[in-house]
Amino acid sequence: MTDRARVPKAQDYSVVPGSLGPRRDFRISVGLREGWDAEGRVFDISEAVRTARAWMKRRVEAGQPALSGMFTRAEVTYAWPRPDGTVGSDREPVALFTGEAVHAYLGHLSDEAIVAMLNELSIELGAALGQERIYVAFADRTWILDAGEH
């Protein structure tokens, strides 16, 4: 029988020094269906995960900080007015990459540096998954990256 590490008790917990700071949460929403057609290839979320992990690894190997977070698969739903007065609606699968620029690890970075990392990762995800638009949110801001409008 092996010894198990001691299980923490409630009184064992304390705030980690240097970890308290402003909340800077983020989200990248990228489609999993390539292109605009309903018949477009649908990627598995593992392709988004693989792309993000490769990006993280390259950055860390170069001595640069990287964002970390969680991927979840979701469906975006939407509706629009048609010229004939009817309403169309659709849905499509998306990958959501969410996380926080945790103060203990990334607190020394400016918001602009976090935004630059979000844009860099978003563009890599969009290119890997055949997407023209990627939706990004950080703290109290949102924006859309678009490869189709020049």
Model pLDDT for residues 67-97, shown as the tens digit of each residue: 999 999 999 999 999 999 999 999 999 999 9
Whether 4 maps to a domain, the answer reads no
Helix (H), strand (E) at residue 120: helix 111-128
pLDDT tens-digit map of 19-66: 999 999 999 999 999 977 778 899 999 999 999 999 999 999 999 999
Domain at 136, CATH number = 3.30.70.120
pTM of the model: 0.88
* Burial group, residue 137, by CB count within 10 angstroms (0-12, 13-18, 19+): middle
Q: What are phi and psi of 132, to 5 degrees?
A: -85, -35
AA letter at 42: V
For the beta sheet containing 87-100, the strands, ordered from the edge strand earlier in sequence to the opposite edge, are: 70-81, 87-100, 25-31, 133-138, 141-146
Residue 11 resides in a domain = no
Tell me, yes or no, whether 5 lies in a domain: no
- How does strand 141-146 pair with strand 87-100? unpaired
User: How many helices (H) and strands (E) in the chain?
Assistant: 3, 5
Domain span at residue 37?
Answer: 20-83+90-146
What is the sign of the dihedral through the CA atoms of 117, 119, 124 and 128?
positive
Q: How many domains is the chain built from?
A: 1
Q: Which helix (H) or strand (E) holds 47?
A: helix 45-61
- More confident position, 67 or 5: 67
